C-alpha cells in the first residue's frame, strides 16, 4: 500500500513539473502535432517578463495554442536556446540586439512582424537632477552588450556631451572621439546596471530595468529619441519566419490586456507599437 501511494505521489509531482507556463500539453495537442499542425509552442522569456507573458496567455490559448514558457536569467541564453531548437520562439529582445547576436554567433534568427513594444531608454541619476549638472569626471554606467551600449552613447552624443567616431556603425565606449567632460565609462549587464546607481553619477539603460529593480522610472535626466528602431518582438529561427503560428501569436498579443500591463505594471516604460 505504501509503495502504491508513493507511486501515485511521484506521478503527481512529475506531472506538475511538465505543466509549466500558460498551460500543459494534452491529448488534443499531441494529436495535432502528430498530424503536422503545430499547436504546442515553447516560448523563451527573461525572468523579468514572466508576468508580461502571463497577461496574454489567454489570448494565445484562445487561438488554440498551448504555451510552455521557458524562463532565462540573462539576455543571451534565450537566443542560444532558440538557435539550438529547444524553444520555438523567444520574446524579450529588440531587432538590433538580435542581429548583433546573429553576426557574432553565425545564427539566423528572424524578428516576426508585427513587433510588440518600444522600450523607453533613458539616463538616470540619484545624485544629479539634470544633464547640465553632470560634473567633469562623472562616472557613466553603460550596458555591456553592443547594441544597448551604442544606444546609450548615441544618447549622450545627442545631448552634446560627447562626440563619437562617425565611421563606426555600432560605437562602444572606445569609439568616443571627444570627451570634453572627461567622463569615465563603466559597463554592466543591463538587468543589473541599476545596482550601479549608487556608485555612478548616471546610468544609461532601458527604463523597464529600473522598474524591475524596484526603482522609480519617471525621474530620468533625458531619453533616447530612437524608440522605433529598438522595438521588441518575437524572434524565431529563419525556417519559421513565415509560419502561421508565429504570425498569429505576434498579432494576438497586440491587445488591451497587454497595453494595460505596460501602463500599470511597467509604469509606462514600454510603449505599445499599435497605439
Contact 114, 233 (CB under 8 A): yes
Which is nearest to 228 in space by CA: 271, 259, 196?
A: 271
Q: Alpha-carbon Rg of the chain, whole angstroms?
A: 21
pLDDT for position 20: 52
Residue 218 CB partners (closer than 8 Å, separation 6+) = 267, 268
Domains and CATH numbers, the chain: 40-119+229-272 (3.40.190.10), 121-228 (3.40.190.10)
Q: Is 3's pLDDT higher than 90?
A: no
Burial (Cβ within 10 Å: 0-12, 13-18, ≥19) of residue 132: exposed
Q: Is 13's pLDDT higher than 50?
A: no
Q: Estimate to the nearest angstrom the gap between the alpha carbon of 87 and the chain centroid.
A: 16
- The 10s digit of each residue's pLDDT in 152-174 is 999 999 999 999 999 998 899 99
Q: Which of the 8 DSSP states describes residue 112?
A: P
Which is nearest to 100 in space by CA: 144, 140, 69?
A: 144
Mean pLDDT throughout 246-273? 96
The CA distance from 205 to 193, in Å, is 8
Nearest 10 degrees: Cα torsion 68, 72, 75, 81: -60
- The 10s digit of each residue's pLDDT in 17-58 is 233 556 544 434 443 444 347 899 999 999 999 999 999 999
Which is nearest to 45 in space by CA: 63, 67, 25?
A: 67
Contact 211, 204 (CB under 8 A): no
Q: What is the reported pTM? A: 0.74
Amino acid at each position: 500500500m505504501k509503495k502504491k501511494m508513493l507511486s501515485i505521489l511521484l506521478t503527481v509531482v512529475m506531472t506538475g513539473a511538465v505543466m509549466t507556463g500558460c498551460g500543459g500539453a494534452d491529448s488534443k495537442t499531441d494529436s495535432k502535432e502528430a498530424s503536422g499542425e503545430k499547436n504546442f509552442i515553447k516560448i523563451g522569456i527573461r525572468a523579468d517578463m514572466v508576468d508580461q507573458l502571463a497577461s496574454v496567455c489567454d489570448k494565445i490559448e484562445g487561438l488554440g495554442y498551448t504555451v510552455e514558457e521557458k524562463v532565462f536569467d540573462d539576455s543571451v541564453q534565450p537566443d542560444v536556446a532558440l538557435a539550438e531548437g529547444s524553444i520555438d520562439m523567444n520574446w524579450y529582445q529588440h531587432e538590433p540586439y538580435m542581429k548583433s547576436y546573429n553576426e557574432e554567433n553565425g545564427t539566423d534568427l528572424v524578428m516576426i512582424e508585427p513587433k510588440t513594444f518600444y522600450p523607453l531608454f533613458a539616463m538616470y541619476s540619484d545624485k544629479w537632477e539634470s544633464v547640465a549638472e553632470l560634473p567633469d569626471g562623472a562616472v557613466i554606467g553603460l550596458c555591456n552588450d553592443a547594441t544597448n551600449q551604442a544606444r546609450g552613447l548615441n544618447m549622450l552624443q545627442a545631448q552634446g556631451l560627447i562626440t563619437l567616431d562617425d565611421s563606426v556603425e555600432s560605437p562602444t565606449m572606445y569609439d568616443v572621439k571627444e570627451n570634453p567632460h572627461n567622463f569615465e565609462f563603466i559597463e554592466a549587464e543591463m538587468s543589473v546596471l541599476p545596482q550601479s546607481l549608487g556608485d555612478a553619477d548616471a546610468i544609461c539603460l532601458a527604463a523597464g530595468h529600473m522598474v524591475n529593480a524596484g526603482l522609480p522610472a519617471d525621474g530620468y535626466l533625458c531619453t533616447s529619441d530612437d524608440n522605433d528602431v529598438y522595438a521588441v518582438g518575437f524572434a524565431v529561427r529563419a525556417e519559421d519566419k513565415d509560419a502561421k503560428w508565429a504570425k498569429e501569436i505576434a498579432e494576438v498579443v497586440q491587445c488591451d490586456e497587454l497595453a494595460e500591463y505596460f501602463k500599470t505594471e511597467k509604469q509606462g516604460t514600454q510603449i505599445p507599437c499599435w497605439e
